[in-house]
Structure 1
Amino acid sequence: MTTDTQAPEVLRQHAEDAFAAELAALAAQDDRPRPERWRLSPWAVATYLLGGELPDGTVITPKYIGPRRVIEIAVTTLATDRALLLLGVPGTAKTWVSEHLAAAVSGDSTLLVQGTAGTPEEAVRYGWNYAQLLANGPSREALVPSPVMRAMADGKTARVEELTRIPADVQDSLITILSEKTLPVPELGTEIQAVRGFNLIATANDRDRGVNDLSSALRRRFNTVVLPLPATLDEEVDIVTRRVGQLGRSLDLPELPGGAEEIRRVVTVFRELRSGVTADGRTKVKTPSGTLSTAEAISVVTNGLALAAHFGDGVLRAGDVAGGILGAVVRDPVADQQVWREYVEGVVRERDGWKDFYRAAREHSR
């Protein structure tokens, strides 16, 4: 129960709120040139994303684990007049990176358009308060700005998630905004001109093609940065461990013994099925229809932690994650089920130290 003056705890804070202390520490010690209306310099934005230690000893936790050059190119793009398109397979942290970039650059990650097959043009341009429109006709008071329009007016960073899921005619409404930095409002005989500091980050999956591919005219307005899958097993284990720890704390889950071993096991299974070959390169395996992304591995382990904490003996074990792995792998009940059985019997059964996982996988596969 909360009082009138006490705000209820939110399940997930925006990046600028969750990492406010780090952003403030970076701003206080950031003496490098900042583009107009940026909260931090490009160097400090990259440090916020990649992590590091400041001269006063403040530790900045990494938000993205991967090639440094990828983040440097993304940040540099936002400092120019070109928009940024983060491209990659599902689960490569595109949304996570876009949110943290907006938080570090503008101090506001909430100017967001969520792309779907039903996203209307009003979500990108502007809409109307129809009560005022009918009563008084078109006016500034009746106009309802979109997140993109608000970002243009305030010199901030707007975000468009899943751009390729938006209908083509709605996508193309971005062309004038990105090329001319202007949003015409013909009903009022005026236009909104973007002020310095405005830019836009879009995300798109290159495996899940979505509803509409981008037109060549729109794609030219973006600088495309591809976010790769984690290069090594250790890198992916590190990513999963960090995110599971953050999610576990937000859900008040205890840190359980056995977590490191089971995380490595989940990531190993996902990487082998994703690549079609075992980690030692000796055995080829069939790949399922799902993406088996790092984000799905995080979900499997987090769910396993909850099972172990609430229904287990307080130790994260193979049985706590086996069911989640099965659910992630078997999307097609016929083809994927066969892929999973062959993997369990051909790879897991023969692997030293995996007998407990083999038994749990067999039990959940019945």
Structure 2
Amino acid sequence: MTGATTRMQRPPAELRWADELSRLRADDDAPRPPGWQLSITAAKRFIVGDERAGIERKFVGDPSLIDRALVTLATSRGLLLVGEPGTAKSLLSELLAAAVSGDSTLTVQGGAATTEDQIRYGWNYALLVADGPSQRSIVPGPVMRGMRDGKLVRFEEITRCPLEVQDSILSLLSDRVLAVPELGNSGMVFAIEGFNVIATANTRDRGVNEMSAALKRRFNFETVFPIADLATELALVERQAGALLERSGVPTPPRRDVLEVLVTTFRELRTGAAANGDALERMSAVMSTAEAVSVAHAVGLRGWYLRGEAGSAADIVECLAGTAAKDDADDLARLRRYLEQQVPRKSGSAWQDLHAARLRLPG
């Protein structure tokens, strides 16, 4: 990374893994879809990794999902990634855009306040008043730029947008043309090869603003599931938390036993089932892998900056309250019952530390 990149809190994928993308492009002799930076096989290697070529694994999930996603993006249909919060849908859309277009920054962040102008185009009103409608006075949005440059556009949390805002991309996905009525024929923007849309939607939010049937028909839906295997999830949390701690100036890696306690706790509260088969009360809060990484990061920061050590299982309790009790007061009670009833049945000093720290929960 360059000096400027290393100072970024979170560089985009195409900068973070620029060397890998460069090597993949140089060695890629497979056929590429029109407008793509990489072939489908090379793009998949970038995302799922290739140890022999020194390509890091970046997404943990079903490799066949990557195949289907890439094939969809090579067609005229958009790709919609759906799943529980924290299942790395946004990361996957970023990786896909970086591999296909070499640019993951053409992004629309969906929400109640998102407007059509933020998606398609707006106006520089000073130039509009001075010169009238012109190419110079247009402020292109991510979709217009993606169509002009032949790149993928990411539409995050599309179902959080009002229905009329969602439907503003209907004609773009169908006809591949964006019209600026004020400019007449000169205002027609025709998409060039490489343009497509990757959208994401949380299953918990899909009822907020349900997509129209017409818009659904223009997307292929792919579900991103939580990581099924404990060892795989633990390795991912360890790797990502370690990288975050290093960027935060913490030279001590997270303790493996502490991370095992953390990941196991998250998995059991997420699924409502203990490792011994006992049924548990499921949390209504999101207990995802992404949240586990955030808590592991906070545990490491507490340990290092408060005591000069790696962080302990007791720190997990301090960091869990803000994760577990966000919008449901009963979640704090569920967490307390888990710490009091389930944790004592587990063996190991880290579990004992977690149980002893249960009284640190607020309330």
Q: Structure 2 length as normaliser, TM-score? A: 0.94
- The equivalent residue for 2:243 is 246
The gaps in structure 1 that reach 5 residues or longer are none
Answer whether contact 1:87 1:227 (CA < 8 A) is retained: yes
Q: Tell me, yes or no, if structure 1 residue 307 matches structure 2 residue 302.
A: yes
Deviations 1:96-126 (A, max 9, x none): 1111111111111111111110001101111
Match for residue 277 of structure 1?
A: 273
Distance 1:210 1:266 in 2: 31
Instruction: Name the counterpart of 1:13.
Output: 11
After TM superposition, the structure 1 = structure 2 runs for residues 60-99 of structure 1, keeping only pairs within 5 Å, are 60-99=55-94
Instruction: For 1:49 and 1:140, locate their aligned partners in 2 and report how far apart those are by CA, in whole Å.
Output: 38
Deviations 1:304-363 (A, max 9, x none): 111111112413211222211232122356411221122112101222222111011233
Q: Is the 8 A contact 2:339 2:354 kept in 1?
A: no
SS at match of 2:72: helix
Q: How far did 1:82 drift?
A: 1.0
User: Whose helix proportion is higher, 1 or 2?
Assistant: 2
CA distance in 2, matches of 1:358, 1:318: 9
Distance 1:6 1:96 in 2: 24
Kindly report the root-mean-square deviation, in angstroms, between the aligned alpha carbons of the 2 structures: 1.7
Deviations 1:116-143 (A, max 9, x none): 1000110111111111111121111111
- SS of structure 1 residue aligned to 2:345: coil
- Identify the residue that residue 344 of structure 1 maps to in structure 2: 339
Q: Is the 2:155–2:198 contact (alpha carbons within 8 Å) kept by the matching residues of 1?
A: yes
SS at match of 1:288: coil
Q: What is the total number of aligned residue pairs between the two structures?
A: 357
- Number of the residue aligned with 1:35: 33
CA distance change for structure 1 residues 53 and 350 in 2, over 3 Å: closer, same or farther? Answer: closer
- AA partner of residue 161 (structure 1): E
The residue type equivalent to 1:124 in the other structure is I
CA distance in 2, matches of 1:138, 1:306: 53
Partner AA of 1:96 in structure 2: L
Q: Distance in 1 between matches of 2:222 and 2:337?
A: 37
Displacement of 1:51 in angstroms is 0.5
| Amino acid in structure 2 at the alignment position of 1:295 | A
| Contact kept in structure 1, 2:301 and 2:311, CA below 8 Å | no
Tell me the distance in 1 between the aligned counterparts of 2:276 and 2:71.
38
Q: For 1:277, give the aligned amino acid.
A: A
Check conservation: 2:149, 2:192, Cα contact below 8 A: yes
Percent identity over paired residues = 45
Q: 1:266 aligns with which of 257, 262, 265?
A: 262
Give the SS at the match of 1:202: strand
Rounded Cα–Cα distance in structure 1 between residues aligned with 2:297 and 2:315: 10
Which 5+ residue runs of structure 2 have no aligned equivalent?
A: none
The equivalent residue for 2:169 is 174
CA deviation map 1:147-177 (0-9, x unaligned): 1111101111111111011111010011000
Counterpart position of 1:192: 189
Of 168-177 and 337-346, more deviation after overlay is shown by 337-346
Assess if the C-alpha contact under 8 Å between 1:90 and 1:208 holds in 2: no
Moved more, 127-136 or 327-336: 327-336
In the TM superposition, residue 364 of structure 1 has moved relative to its aligned partner by: 3.0
Q: Provide the TM-score with structure 1 as the length reference.
A: 0.93
